[in-house]
């Protein structure tokens, strides 16, 4: 520590052991200069710790600890674990913001390589303001943090709302899509009539079939048209499922009736085929028996003629 008026005359050099405090009160005036140096060594290996991350001196007011002044230490040029900081009150007096009183001086060290940081109170200082130059204190105490235990509002998820487009745009686009799909719709309609006519020609008409087959194809076309409309307009999934369930159930009943009528007609056709085959077999059996009888009669006549010829020859001899 030195006096600024006479830099060659130091006021005193004091060595303070670790975790001990200087008993003498240091008076901080505008002519005060202090130079603090220290060395940091690893206790296990004895190697110096260089490039320490946190190394500063803190002055905190005794009556209002939130009023703080910091001085950052710098690493010595020769390094080797040496650090020093210089405090010149003629330059740093403004940092105290004209707040006189007693200050506690603490050296704070910290680094990721150190297991526990160091907070060492070195000495107590008193800031003296000369009466010839009175200054109003510019210090404003910081607001203390007071925890709030109020109930926070409930978190609500808000989905992004779709921006409404111009109605003219949608009208023109839907009209264009309808015009493009109109030939396909007409083609499907004509195919529907063609398929119904083909089914009527292939399968014999019956009351159940004539009702269930058109019902099935109509429900199937309505179901696919409903899917296309939902995809085009983007309706909600709940509405889609409700309408689709109604159309699908009616379509299933119609398909069941159509397949049932087709199965009954197929079974009847098989029975008629079996009856016709049995009648043909009986007719063939009858024809075969008559042919056998005719062959037997022809054989007897030939035998009789041969016997008569044999008798005549014997008589001639």
Identify the segments of the chain with pLDDT beneath 70: 1-12, 79, 130-146, 162-170, 192-211, 234-235, 238, 280-317
This prediction's pTM? 0.40
pLDDT in tens, 64-98: 878 888 888 888 777 677 888 888 888 888 888 77
C-alpha 254/C-alpha 221 separation (Å) is 13
Domains of the chain: 2-127 (2.60.40), 167-281 (no CATH)
Model confidence over 224-254: pLDDT tens digits?
Answer: 888 777 777 766 776 777 777 787 887 787 7
Residue 261 near residue 200, CB atoms below 8 Å = no
86 contacts 25 by C-beta, under 8 angstroms: no
For residues 90 and 2, the answer to whether their CB atoms sit within 8 Å is no
Torsion angle of the four alpha carbons 149, 151, 157, 161, in this order, in degrees rounded to the nearest 10: -100
Q: Which residues pair with 66 in a beta bridge?
A: none
Q: Starting at the earlier edge strand, list the strands of the sheet with 101-110.
A: 26-28, 118-127, 101-110, 54-61, 68-72
φ, ψ at 315 (rounded to 5°): -70, -40
């Amino acid at each position: 520590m030195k006096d600024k008026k006479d830099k060659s005359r130091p006021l005193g050099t004091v060595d303070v052991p670790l975790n001990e405090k200087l008993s003498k009160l240091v008076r901080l005036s505008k002519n005060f200069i202090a130079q603090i140096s220290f060395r940091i060594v690893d206790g296990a290996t004895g190697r110096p710790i260089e490039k320490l991350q946190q190394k500063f001196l803190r002055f905190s007011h005794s009556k209002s600890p939130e009023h703080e002044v910091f001085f950052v230490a710098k690493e010595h040029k020769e390094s080797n674990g040496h650090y020093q900081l210089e405090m010149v009150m003629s330059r740093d007096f403004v940092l105290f913001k004209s707040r006189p009183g007693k200050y506690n001086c603490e050296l704070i060290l910290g680094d990721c390589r150190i297991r526990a940081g160091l907070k060492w109170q070195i000495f107590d200082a008193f800031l003296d303001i000369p009466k010839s130059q009175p200054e109003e204190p510019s210090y404003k105490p910081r607001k203390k943090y007071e925890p709030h235990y109020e109930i926070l509002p409930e978190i609500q998820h808000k989905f992004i709302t779709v921006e409404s487009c111009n109605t003219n745009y949608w009208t023109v686009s839907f009209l264009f899509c309808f015009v493009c799909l109109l030939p396909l719709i007409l083609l499907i309609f004509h195919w529907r009539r063609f398929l119904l006519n083909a089914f009527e020609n292939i399968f014999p008409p019956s009351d159940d079939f004539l009702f269930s087959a058109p019902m099935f194809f109509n429900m199937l076309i309505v179901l696919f048209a409903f899917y296309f409309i939902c995809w085009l307009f983007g309706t909600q999934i709940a509405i889609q499922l409700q309408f689709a369930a109604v159309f699908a159930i009616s379509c299933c009943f119609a398909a069941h009736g159509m397949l049932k009528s087709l199965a009954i007609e197929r079974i009847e056709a098989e029975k008629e085929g079996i009856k016709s085959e049995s009648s043909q077999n009986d007719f063939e059996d009858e024809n075969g028996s008559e042919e056998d009888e005719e062959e037997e009669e022809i054989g007897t006549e030939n035998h009789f003629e041969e016997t008569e010829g044999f008798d005549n020859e014997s008589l001639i001899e």
